[in-house]
Amino acid sequence: MDKTNELDKPRLDRTLYNIFIVLARLGLAYLFFTQLWWKLPPNFGCGSEFNFPQPSEQNYWIDNNSSGLCYYMGLESVFASKPRPVFIADMRSAGLPTISVDIAPIARLNGLLLDNLFIPNIRIFGWLVWLAEFWIFLSMFLGLFSRLGALTAIGITLQLFIGLANIPRPYEWEWSYATAIFLAFAMLATAPGRVVGVDAWLRMKLLKPGIRPNLLTRIVLLLT
């Protein structure tokens, strides 16, 4: 056995980890960067009327000249009362049953929140959605409070999954949202800002020998 290669393995592992954790972090940053521009404040892409899709018996919904954030919030509301199987594994071709998880109860709760809180106050909550997604981009791009950014990403992507995954018109592929959720979980677990990020600098300053961490320091360390 080549002992030199064995000694090189830990360094190689660390190098690969650092490269790919930064790539994953920047990938999540760019994902949210691309989503900022179709729902820009102050009208969030909704137009001056802030119209939402309306339910329709024949086609599930009519667009009602809606667009931007209003369009997608309206779709979540329309489909909140429909059957919502997700994580579908259709194994009938192998003579096995189809496996899925029904999230209809959670989707209905999401619809209630949309109809009674978010949609009537879109001019306020539109800002919160946009700023949350901008924060995720900034956090992941700079590696700044990256665990807080990851938590925000989990919240945003989970809500989108509940509201839009596998709706039939337009069809929204569930794994587009599920993959983003799992990537956000990975970012939460790995604290990617500690690799070529602002978090690495913050932690170096806060963890100097002889400095006794106070409550604020502990919170900062937890979020980085």
Closest among 155, 138, 158 to 146, alpha carbons compared: 138
Domain ranges of the chain: 3-223
Most confident residue range from 3-17, 53-67, 130-144: 130-144
**Can you give the pLDDT at residue 120?**
97
Cα–Cα distance, 198 to 182 (Å, whole number): 23
**Can you give the pLDDT at residue 211?**
73
Please write the tens of the pLDDT for every residue from 16-35: 999 999 999 999 999 999 99
**Can you give the pLDDT at residue 34?**
98
What is the rounded average pLDDT of the residues 35-39? 97
Angle, CA 131 vertex, CA 218 and CA 32 arms, to 5°:
95
Burial 87-108 (b: 16+ CB within 10 A, else e): eeeeeeeeeeeeebeebeeebe
Cα–Cα distance, 18 to 195 (Å, whole number): 6
CB 38 within 8 A of CB 73: no
Helices (H) and strands (E) in the chain, counts: 8, 4
Residue 196: which residues within 8 A CB-CB, separation 6 or more?
18, 22, 143
Please write the tens of the pLDDT for every residue from 53-76: 998 877 789 999 999 999 999 999
What is the rounded average pLDDT of the residues 138-156? 98
**Can you give the pLDDT at residue 42?**
96
CB 166 within 8 A of CB 172: yes
Residue 196 is classified by DSSP as S
> pLDDT category, 12, cuts 50, 70, 90?
confident
